[in-house]
Amino acid sequence: MMTRTFHPIGQGAFYTEQFEKNNNLIYEIDDYSDGLFEKINIVYDCGTSSGDNIGTDVIEKSFRQGEDIEILFISHFHSDHVNMIKKLIEHCGLIKIVVLPLLNENEKRLIINIYKSLDLNETADLIENIGLYLDDKTKILFVEEKKDKQEKDKKRRKYF
């Protein structure tokens, strides 16, 4: 059984999916797990601008202390989509895979500097050093545009 939840966190985004073992079915997830499990947790974005208490409450109600997260997807680096990640990491067990948007170094520096200028230093630090917050076993993946599409776009631009 799969349960998808759009959590009421006010301004921001925190969505979860939980897949549970049902009727003696056994699910498997590649090399990132022991092969068998009772439940898979997936998180899409993890932030709010509606206050720390809301975020903490939602995380604690969604996951048991030490419960693993199979995959954390981050759609983009707006503070209200990422500022609860540290709390999620502190409350839960291992986050096995983190999927992040790919930024070049200039884009990354710009976002970090904007957050620092807004006194959102914890969010800036998370973006700059996300690997420091995660377990060594966590695999970090970056989403990027396919080369084929980039080449097609370059060719199209020549004609317009």
Query: Which tens digits make up the pLDDT trace of 101-156?
Result: 888 889 999 999 999 999 989 889 888 888 888 889 999 988 877 666 666 666 55
Whether residue 101 contacts residue 111, with contact meaning beta carbons closer than 8 Å, is answered with: no
Spatial separation of the C-alpha atoms in residues 93 and 67, rounded to whole Å: 5
Could you tell me what percent of the chain has a pLDDT over 90?
26
Q: Which of helix, strand or coil describes residue 17?
A: strand
Query: What pLDDT does residue 9 have?
Result: 76
Q: What is the pLDDT of residues 34-68, one digit of tens each?
A: 444 478 899 998 888 877 677 788 899 889 899 99
Q: What angle do CA 78, 83, 88 make, to 5 degrees?
A: 135
Helix/strand/coil (H/E/C) assignment for every residue in 36-77:
CCCEEEEEEEEEECCCHHHHHHHHHHHCCCCCCEEEEECCCC
Q: Give the global pTM.
A: 0.75
Spatial separation of the C-alpha atoms in residues 96 and 40, rounded to whole Å: 11
Q: What is the pLDDT of residues 56-112, one digit of tens each?
A: 888 998 898 999 999 999 988 888 888 888 899 999 989 999 999 888 889 999 999
Query: What pLDDT does residue 66 have?
Result: 92
Spatial separation of the C-alpha atoms in residues 64 and 18, rounded to whole Å: 13
Query: What pLDDT does residue 131 have?
Result: 85
Q: What is the pLDDT of residues 12-34, one digit of tens each?
A: 788 888 887 654 554 444 443 44
Spatial separation of the C-alpha atoms in residues 96 and 93, rounded to whole Å: 9
In the numeric block, the tokens 């759009």 are attached to 6
